[in-house]
Amino acid sequence: MSNRARIDAVQKAASRSIRTFPRPMDAQGRPVRVSVMFGSRTFNAERMRERLSPDVYARWAETMEHGRKLDRPVADAIAHAVKEWALEEGVSHFCHWFHPMTGSTAEKHDAFLWFDRDGRPIEKFTGSMLLQSEPDASSFPSGGMRSTFEARGYTAWDPTSPMFIMDSPNGRTLCIPSAFLGYHGQALDEKAPLLRSMDALSASATRLLAALGEPAHHRITVTVGPEQEYFLIDRAYAGLRADLVIAGRSLQGARAPKGQMLEDHYFGSIPVRVQAFMEEVELELYQLGVSAKTRHNEVAPCQFELAPIFCEANLAADHNQLVMQTLRRVALRHDFLLLLHEKPFAFVNGSGKHINWSMSDTRGDNLLDPGKDPQQNLRFLTFLAATLLGVYRHAAILRASIASHGNDFRLGANEAPPAIISVFLGDFLTRICDGIAAGDVSTLDPGKAMIELGISRLPSIAKDNTDRNRTSPFAFTGNKFEFRAVGSSASISFPTTCLNAAVADAIDQIGAWISAAGGGPAAVLAAVRRALQESAPVRFDGNGYGAEWVIEAERRGLPHARNTPAALAALATANAAALFERHGILSHEELHSRFEVRVEQYNKKVEIEADVLREMVDTLVLPVGLAELAEAQAQVDLGPAAVRRFRELQARIEALDTARQALDAAAGKVGEGNEAERAASYCANVVPALLTLRETCDGIEAMVTDSRWPLPRYREMLFLS
């Protein structure tokens, strides 16, 4: 047995040339500036203003600002304008682009081609085509909301997210960002609940601002900026690693002699080949209106990050899906395999997707930004307290929102936050919160209380005394919160939906306390105090990795779901159902469907990994190990060292066989129960058996002669020149 294919892959990876690509040029032959090309493939507000009548544009803008429905004449006018623009851009098809509960995106393409009454071919696109489409919904996961034979589903245009053009090698398609609904209006996707949660938070925050004596606000915007981490390896290795291609992570692989121990990769010089890839990704994203702002090396070798500028939450969700799609597509052009799994390689950092989250009022002022006077800081503290209270009361739901098989391998390891949801504020804000919670502020003059508590200094101090704890899953970073526990492959929609719901609920609670106390600044400060007192257990600025934190968190009564099945159970509780129904975000049926879909996805991913690793052991690892053992046995006459090698290798192969049989036995215990019961069994039996089998494989790899080992090794895959 030879390693010829592996050596060929290593040589191919080492000899890759840097891929260049054509950049847009202006009439003078100079590269087009980003500000000029930005959004050139989107039917954005500027393009709508140019192509719509002032009346139609004003009615569309009113929909954007106040959430009112578009009537048919307006939809027809927009459909005609976007069709003419798309045809000018060489587009032949359109599709409603949506986010089913697979975590990815889906689309069904229809041609603009139509025929008039005389049978002549024309291009046609009407308001009804724009507003709604009817893709076959039978094969999308629904969590039991509809039967397989009920194939009907509807996509509905989200007018707050610009339509965009996607290129393919031989054509262009107009994509219409949409929600996906069942025949009876049930949300079959991730977008519809997100939009509902944004409306719920806006309504709650608007009422609270009125209670604070603020000028009238008709809409509060949830802003999000997701940081996307990912790994790149050369494509030459992909054909030899079924685990990376099928499972998205290496199910076997011995530790590399050098991983991230020297800490020389983080923010280091970006490899030239990788930078060429990044630049092409950014060029495509800019044309799609995605604000790719930051690029850099992450901590692990072959790990990188792309981060955008904040935008409205539903647009951010669309953009993040475009980011992941674009990364995958462009990676292939540069002969890379993109890995979005949360832990594609053991022994080094996993990948997350930090969601930077905040709220803005009608004027665009950030509600989580410390102000310039006591009144503004009272508003800041009120919304800060509401966020803390929401996270505390609904920590289990937030933990469930980021639960996945992949994230189980990441949470609590190598800079990823632990599975206990807590909030980091920093020393200064913690002292402020402790001072408010401890004092009898209800008897104080609010303005004087602000000064005595040091709150008048918030703008100059708060921003410089936050974000010093990378082990926190939910950290305040100056004017926003960073939800760091979200996995790199996940859609940001559901975590954001859950966070919006939790905070909206807490905002309503604070509003009720203010109303019960008669209103006014003193009642506001008293409500803030009450919220800070109740939520005190969730505030933690210490080391989230310490064993003592697990004990302390349990003492505080914080939930600690150590794995996905345990975390997802929170979605099946009466508390979760009441939260989402109370705010009109998810019905009991819709919430239960999300529980069912996520549990089923967990089961399928573990089952796939078990099948892939079995195949790798049976067809690669064991045959190679036996061949190595036969050679070692032939060399035992060479002396004690040869004997020891033979015996050690023999013991490891026997351990491999035992572990292989144990995996089959564990899989046999799963049984035919419901999905939740199967998930518990997969977690308790199959996952540990997979880890044990992996360890035995790694042990054999470490002993097999390099000229015989067929799989690309960590030391070969993880370092790009």
Q: Convert the pLDDT of each residue in 116-151 to its tens digit.
A: 899 999 999 998 888 888 766 667 767 776 655 555
For residue 273, what is the DSSP state?
Answer: H
Q: Which of 72-76, 267-271, 284-288 has the highest mean pLDDT?
A: 284-288
SS (H, E, C) 340-399: CCCCCCCCCCCCECCEEEEEECCCCCECCCCCCCHHHHHHHHHHHHHHHHHHHHCHHHHH
Give 465's DSSP letter.
Answer: S
The three-state (H, E, C) secondary structure of 487-549, written as one string: ECCCCCHHHHHHHHHHHHHHHHHHHHHHHHCCCCHHHHHHHHHHHHHHHHHHECCCCCCCHHH
For 34, list phi and psi in degrees, rounded to 5.
Answer: -60, -40
Distance CA 483, CA 485 (A): 6
Higher-pLDDT residue of 180 and 416 is 180
Query: Which of 85-99, 151-165, 461-475 has the largest mean confidence?
Result: 85-99
How far is residue 520's CA from residue 446's CA, in Å, rounded to a whole number? 10
Q: Which residue has the higher pLDDT, 414 or 364?
A: 364
Contact status, residue 720 vs residue 705, Cβ threshold 8 Å: no
Nearest 10 degrees: CA dihedral of 240, 242, 244, 246? 150
For the ranges 180-194, 370-384, 415-429, 490-504, the one whose mean pLDDT is highest: 490-504
- What is the rounded distance in angstroms from the CA atom of residue 653 to the CA atom of residue 626? 8
User: In this predicted structure, what is the pLDDT of residue 463?
Assistant: 47
- H helices within 212-291, ranges in order? 242, 272-287
Please tell me the predicted confidence (pLDDT) of residue 467: 52
Mean pLDDT of 320-334: 97
The identity of residue 268, as a single letter, is: G
Q: Using one digit for the tens of pLDDT, what is the confidence trace for 184-227? A: 788 889 999 999 999 999 999 999 999 998 878 888 999 999 99
pLDDT-derived band at 683 (thresholds 50, 70, 90) equals very high
Do residues 489 and 410 lie in contact, with contact meaning Cβ atoms separated by under 8 Å? Answer: no
Nearest to 226 by CA among 286, 289, 305: 305
The SS3 assignment for 629 reads helix
**Contact between residue 448 and residue 436 where contact means Cβ atoms under 8 Å apart:** no
Asked which of 357-371, 385-399, 494-508 is least confident by mean pLDDT, the reply is 357-371
- Residues 328 and 340: their CA atoms lie apart, in Å, by 9
What is the predicted pLDDT for the residue at 138?
62
Is residue 593 within 8 Å of 142, Cβ to Cβ?
A: yes
Between CA 112 and CA 102 the distance in angstroms is 28
Are 435 and 486 in contact by the 8 Å Cβ rule? The answer is no
- Residues 312/323, Cβ–Cβ less than 8 Å: no
Residue 167 has pLDDT above 70, yes or no: yes
Which tokens belong to 257?
A: 């002699």
The amino acid occupying position 305 is: E
Q: Regarding the domain with residue range 38-189, which homologous superfamily does it belong to in the CATH classification?
A: Glutamine synthetase, N-terminal domain (3.10.20.70)
**Which of 196, 279, 335 shows the shortest CA–CA distance to 24?**
279
**DSSP for 624-679?**
HHHHHHHHHHHTGGG-HHHHHHHHHHHHHHHHHHHHHHHHHHHHHTSTTS-HHHHH
pLDDT interval class at 521 (50, 70, 90)? confident
| Of residues 445, 448, 453, the one with CA closest to residue 429 | 453
d(CA 136, CA 133): 10
More confident residue, 260 or 715: 715
Least confident of 149-153, 330-334, 596-600, 602-606: 149-153
For residues 201 and 217, is the Cβ–Cβ distance under 8 A?
Answer: no
Write out the two tokens for 597. Answer: 């879909």
Query: Percentage of the chain surpassing pLDDT 70?
Result: 92
Reply yes or no on whether the pLDDT at 399 is more than 70: yes
Cα-only R_g, the chain: 28
Which amino acid appears at position 234 of this protein? D
Residue 7's identity, in one-letter code, is I
Mean of the per-residue pLDDT values of the chain: 90
Burial class (CB in 10 A: 0-12, 13-18, 19+), 549: buried
CA atoms within 13 A on the CB side of 172: 15
| Helices and strands, counts by H and E, the chain | 27, 19
Residue 41 tokens read as: 């493939």
- Tell me how far apart the alpha carbons of residues 89 and 73 are, in angstroms, rounded to a whole number: 25
C-alpha distances in Å from residue 362, one per residue of 65, 66, 225, 376: 9, 11, 19, 15
DSSP assignment of 82-136: HHHHHHHTT--EEEEEB-BTTSS-B--EEESEEE-TTS-EEE---HHHHHEE--B
Tokens of 216: 């009238």
**388 vs 16: CA distance, rounded Å:** 50
Whether the Cβ atoms of residue 190 and residue 105 lie closer than 8 Å to each other: no
What average pLDDT score do residues 223-237 get?
96
- Examine the pLDDT at 443 and tell me if it is beyond 80: no
- The closest of 355, 437, 449 to 388, measured between CA atoms, is 437
**Please, which pLDDT band fits residue 287 given cuts at 50, 70 and 90?**
very high
The pLDDT of residue 3 is 85
- Confidence at 446, pLDDT banded by 50, 70, 90: very low
> Strand 474-476 relative to strand 423-424: parallel, antiparallel, unpaired?
parallel
The string of DSSP codes covering 552-571 is HHHHHT--B--SHHHHHGGG
Separation between Cα atoms, residue 540 and residue 424, nearest integer Å:
6
pLDDT tens readout for residues 622-645:
999 999 999 999 999 999 999 999
- pLDDT value of position 460: 44
What's the rounded Cα separation, in Å, for the pair 600 and 674? Answer: 10
Question: What does the pLDDT look like over 7-42, one tens digit per residue?
Answer: 999 999 989 989 888 888 888 888 899 999 999 999
What pLDDT does residue 461 have?
43
DSSP annotation of 266 reads T
Q: Minimal CA–CA distance to 517: which of 505, 527, 509?
A: 527
The mean pLDDT of 377-398, rounded to a whole number, is: 95
- Spell out the domain ranges in the chain: 38-189, 364-499+510-581
3-state SS, 142-162, equals: CCCCCCCCCCEEEEEECCCCC
469 has a pLDDT exceeding 80: no
Residue % of the chain over a pLDDT of 90:
69
Residue 462 pLDDT: 46
Per the model's pLDDT, the better-predicted residue between 465 and 237 turns out to be 237
Taking 50 as the threshold, does the pLDDT of residue 464 lie above it? Answer: no
Residue 646 CB coordination number (10 Å): 20
